[in-house]
Structure 1
Amino acid sequence: MKNYIITALAFAGILMSCNSSDKTTTTIEETSEADTTINQIDKNLKPIDSNDALIATALMAAPEASRANCKVIGYNLAGEFVTLKEGNNEFIVLADDPNKEGFSAACYHKDLEPFMARGRTLKAEGKKHQEIFDIREAEVKAGKLNIPTGATLHIYYGKNVLYNPKTSKVDGAKLRYVVYMPYATSASTGLPEAPAASNHPWIMNPGTHRAHIMISPLADDGM
């Protein structure tokens, strides 16, 4: 009887050893597969470390059908504000500034360029946000600057600065849309002055030169 019990216990031990070995092997295999997938994803993402990369990622802010003929401007890797790519359609694209944290590129109608350029000039002079707002407000009222009603601005932005060279997509970046409606208000448009929910249109800076319809992306992952 004693021998039978010893034999049974030994057999059970062998089974437990096999099961444990199988689980360990399975866990190792699963972990290895997961690591491989992560490594493959990481290998697809590269830093934006050339002017060509600056152009490619900036163009993601523009409508796909218009990207080939967009003019691209912005800071190159040497820190110079230049024309990175010539274009001949209705859009101008402002590339991400490689010296700033995160990623932000913008595409806007060419008729907005005087307004945008004025903002860049005032900022280069050391003016702060509210000063720039007030100066351009006065200049629009005086007829020195013009913001066409209905002109659009597309902003492609995110907190990451790696991109996929095959697709030109920046990791985690999203699009936010603006439609300029100078001096429009909630009463004149029927839009709220704050978003009812993510991806819902609302009016920002109502009653000013910079009044615009804002459409932000759906929120996820804390973006």
Structure 2
Amino acid sequence: MKHIIAVFIFTGVLISCNTSDKNKNTTEVTTTQKTVTDSTSNATNNKLVAIDTDEALIATALMAAPKASRDSCKVIGYNMAGEFVTLKEGNNEFIVLADDPKKSGFSAACYHKDLEPFMARGRELKAEGKSAGEIFDIREKEAKAGTLDMGKQGSALHIYFGESERYNPETSKVEGAQYRYVVYMPFATAQSTGLPEKPISSNHPWIMNPGTHRAHIMISPIAEDKE
């Protein structure tokens, strides 16, 4: 009887030890993984700096353009002194609008040069103090009259935006920034394109401002993991 009891006690000790070892190993693995993740995150965060120079404005703005075209893009926008200037000359089909350093968050846009009359007119009216609604109505009237060149059907706009104002100088990526794409189709409708007037789900295309000069296809990719 004593022998049987001893066997039970020994078995219980073995089970207890194994369970303890497993819990210990699991805890060690989890702790190690967390340490590696935290270290990677900290290393990335340590590389982030403020976008506070004209060079930084140019580098981050070019992230809005297709990678293969960045070197030859023209970059315009406000410099750190608050002047609207050409920050970088270019000779391809894209114009890049840099982030406005006086506004919170980050937003850069790259658009086909055929859209420049439309974009420039918007900036001109805004500088005159016109509201968003007034700008829309004025450009609508001018586009219908044929005095405002809306560019070719299908001209694209690439937007790179986010809440952070920090970037990685090694990659030019802005912390947490993501992309959105716009394809201008003046006066197009849901019926003429077959697209819905409201997004069905994330990253599904849809048509915004249908039937107007500003009709455009919206494409918002699912955001990538933040650095």
The TM-score normalised by the length of structure 1 is: 0.83
Aligned equivalents of 1:33, 1:67: Cα separation in 2? 34
Do the aligned residues in 2 keep the contact of 1:58 with 1:93 (CA within 8 Å)?
yes
The alignment status of 1:118 with 2:131, answered yes or no, reads no
Paired AA for residue 128 in structure 1? S
Structure 2 match to 1:190? 194
Paired AA for residue 160 in structure 1? S
Structure 1 match to 2:21? none
The alignment status of 1:173 with 2:167, answered yes or no, reads no
SS in 2 for 1:155: strand
Deviation at 1:35, TM superposition (A): 5.4
SS in 1 for 2:143: helix
Find 1:216's aligned residue among 211, 214, 220: 220
Find 1:41's aligned residue among 40, 44, 47: 44
Do the aligned residues in 1 keep the contact of 2:178 with 2:224 (CA within 8 Å)?
no
Find 1:60's aligned residue among 58, 63, 74: 63
Deviation at 1:39, TM superposition (A): 2.9
The alignment status of 1:162 with 2:163, answered yes or no, reads no
SS in 1 for 2:120: helix
Question: What is the aligned-residue RMSD (CA, Å)?
Answer: 2.2
Q: Which moved more, 1:35-44 or 1:172-181?
A: 35-44
Deviation at 1:42, TM superposition (A): 1.6
Deviation at 1:199, TM superposition (A): 0.5
Equivalent pairs, count: 200
Residue 198 and residue 39 in structure 1: after superposition, are their counterparts in 2 closer, same or farther (change >3 A)? same
Deviation at 1:32, TM superposition (A): 6.7
Aligned equivalents of 1:92, 1:62: Cα separation in 2? 9
SS in 2 for 1:115: helix
SS in 2 for 1:194: coil
Once the two structures are aligned, what percentage of the paired residues are identical? 71
Deviation at 1:147, TM superposition (A): 1.2
Paired AA for residue 161 in structure 2? Y
Aligned equivalents of 1:35, 1:60: Cα separation in 2? 27
Do the aligned residues in 1 keep the contact of 2:158 with 2:180 (CA within 8 Å)?
yes
The TM-score normalised by the length of structure 2 is: 0.82
Do the aligned residues in 1 keep the contact of 2:179 with 2:223 (CA within 8 Å)?
no
Structure 2 match to 1:200? 204
Tell me which stretches of 4 or more aligned residues in structure 1 moved more than 2 Å. 29-39
SS in 1 for 2:149: coil
